[in-house]
């Protein structure tokens, strides 16, 4: 079931900052910290679940399984990456219904030619503008809950220029998309221009070491964005930490490192629900003894 709070916050003019999660450990931690939304990143779900690059290799079935698990556990609304919709218009119809049923509060579809590529890599072709507009219309017509957000992304900037990207963003907003995502902007000037020239709510993509400037939430609001996703935040931090720990063990034989802080094991057990399940075991064991 779609959580209506995400759309209500956007309608009220509240900025949405959604950190990326790629597994259920990340969801547990996001629940602990507390966010208005989280982002289920296609790149990082594909890499973490399949060990494969984000090149359109993951299927709808594989992705919907991962997305549903994240949405079930998350206490915050989930925005999920749906790539190109996993096929033509009939496939997109199935994707919208599947993501709604999975419990996400919105999904992102993009105008790349299938098979798609990661949004911060070169050589990304896009489908005709009119074809993407039709996809947006189908998604809007297919959703059963008006609170389910349809987020339209264009990948035109990298190979076709900022003017084409803005033209597409404006057309997607006019078609009725709830949020517009112009991918791979390369400067604050471009980001400001997109917000000024596209008549719709804009979503930014902030990824460390990517092509877009890494800005604070406050600065993004100043530029005119309504929301931002941070898809690589947890994954890249975890990768850097894991690599340091592994190299330390390999090179020194010591599993400790002065620059690394281990998460407390007892706290982890509580976070993952061990205490709750132990209480259930005790309760049912006592019931068995009484009977």
- Which pLDDT belongs to residue 288? 61
Cβ-in-10-Å burial (0-12, 13-18, 19+) of 6 comes to buried
Q: What would the two tokens of residue 54 be?
A: 């984000």
CA distance 146 to 172: 17
Confidence at 290, pLDDT banded by 50, 70, 90: low
Name 78's bridge partners: 38
CA distance 42 to 110: 12
pLDDT in tens, 62-103: 999 999 999 999 999 999 999 999 999 999 999 999 999 999
Cβ-in-10-Å burial (0-12, 13-18, 19+) of 218 comes to exposed
Rg of the chain on CA atoms, in Å: 21
- Say yes or no to pLDDT of 54 above 80: yes
Burial string for 120-149 (b: 16+ CB within 10 Å, else e) reads beeebebbebeebbebbebbbebbeeebbb
CA distance 91 to 75: 29
- Which pLDDT belongs to residue 198? 98
Confidence at 109, pLDDT banded by 50, 70, 90: very high
Reference 128, options 162, 160, 96; nearest CA is: 160
Distances 275 to 32, 130, 269, 280 between C-alpha atoms, Å: 16, 54, 7, 9
- Say yes or no to pLDDT of 117 above 70: no
- Which pLDDT belongs to residue 118? 65
Contact 204, 231 (CB under 8 A): no
- Which pLDDT belongs to residue 122? 67
Reference 67, options 34, 91, 44, 92; nearest CA is: 44
pLDDT in tens, 239-272: 999 999 999 999 999 998 888 889 999 999 999 9
Q: What would the two tokens of residue 265 be?
A: 């094991």
- Mean pLDDT over the full length of the chain: 93
Residues 6+ apart with CB under 8 A from 34: 75, 76
Residues 6+ apart with CB under 8 A from 45: 22, 58, 63, 66, 67, 81
The CATH architecture annotation of domain 5-238 reads Alpha-Beta Barrel (3.20)
């Amino acid at each position: 079931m779609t959580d209506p709070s995400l759309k209500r916050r956007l309608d009220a003019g509240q900025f949405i900052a959604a950190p990326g999660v790629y597994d259920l450990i990340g969801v547990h931690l996001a629940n602990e910290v507390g966010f208005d939304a989280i982002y289920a990143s296609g790149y990082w779900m594909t890499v973490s679940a399949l060990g494969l690059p984000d090149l359109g290799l993951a299927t709808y079935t594989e992705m919907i399984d991962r997305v549903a698990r994240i949405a079930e556990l998350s206490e915050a609304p989930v925005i999920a990456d749906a790539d190109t919709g996993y096929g033509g218009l009939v496939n997109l119809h199935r994707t919208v219904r599947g993501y709604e049923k999975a419990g996400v509060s919105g999904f992102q579809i993009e105008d790349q030619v299938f098979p798609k590529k990661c949004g911060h890599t070169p050589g990304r072709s896009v489908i005709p503008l009119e074809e993407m507009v039709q996809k947006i219309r189908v998604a809007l017509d297919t959703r059963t809950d008006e609170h389910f957000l349809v987020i339209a992304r264009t990948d035109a900037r990298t190979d076709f220029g900022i003017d084409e990207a803005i033209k597409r963003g404006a057309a997607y907003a006019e078609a009725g998309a709830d949020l517009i995502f112009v991918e791979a902007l390369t400067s604050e000037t471009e980001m400001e221009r997109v917000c000024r020239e596209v008549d719709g709510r804009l979503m930014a993509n902030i990824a460390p070491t990517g092509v877009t400037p890494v800005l604070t939430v406050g600065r993004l609001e100043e530029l005119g964005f309504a929301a931002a996703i941070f898809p690589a935040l947890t994954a890249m931090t975890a990768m850097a930490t894991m690599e340091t720990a592994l190299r330390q063990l390999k090179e020194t034989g010591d599993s400790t490192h002065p620059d690394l802080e281990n998460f407390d094991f007892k706290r982890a057990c509580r976070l993952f629900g061990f205490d709750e399940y132990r209480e259930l075991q005790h309760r049912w064991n006592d019931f068995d003894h009484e009977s």
